[in-house]
Amino acid sequence: MQGDAFFRGESPMHFTASKLAKKLRELEIPFAVTGGMALSPHNYRRYTDDVDVIVRPEDWKRFKERWLGLGYVEVFKGSKAVRDTEHDVKIDVLLTGGFPGDGKPKEFAFPDPARPGVVSDLPGVPIVTLETLIELKIASGKTALGRQRKDYADVIELIRHNRLQESFARGLDAYVSQEFLALLNESRLLNEHPGDSLPE
């Protein structure tokens, strides 16, 4: 089954991420995988059917100029997102300087993957750090209300699986630190009452 292959690291999404990483490295483009693909390396396993990557706008332009029509197509004409035609997997692109959630200007933007502290030192494809992943999840959920339940549920599971405490908030951007502490409290309530549901 596809889910089994995903959790073994042998899914089309993993092959897509590895192939993309190789081509970005050939162009000397800094990048980091985030979203659902970044959860498992940070101790929370959940299935996802796409690949999310953070990259600088000028670098993504170079990638598309080089590779569109050669194994990649735009999801629609002019879209940031592309599809890996070999593995039939969508690649969602988060451009440095853009804004999570509703896309409107706010105090938190997608980071530069070349900046220290954004990419983890885990082996394999470059993955965002746990801090960056949680920041992105909370920043998205704050203003994209249709995604809030899923994004906040992911943060709660990351808290639980990594046994995070209040001190973790000190390393987070001020835009998300209070929401992190609220979700930490939610995680503790769930630990005390495991039959309860995650927050709406």
Q: Which domains does the chain have, with CATH numbers?
A: 2-192 (3.30.460.40)
pLDDT mean for each 10 residues of the chain (200 residues) = 83 97 97 97 96 98 97 96 98 98 96 96 93 98 93 97 97 98 95 60
The pLDDT value given to residue 197: 54
On whether the pTM is more than 0.85, the answer is yes
The pLDDT value given to residue 118: 97
Q: What are the structure tokens assigned to 156, written together?
A: 């709660």
The pLDDT value given to residue 4: 86
Task: For residues 112 and 108, give the distance between their C-alpha atoms in angstroms, rounded to a whole number.
Answer: 12
Q: What are the b/e assignments for 5-41, b being 16+ CB within 10 Å? A: ebeeeebbbbbbbebbbeebeeeebbbbbbbbbbbbb
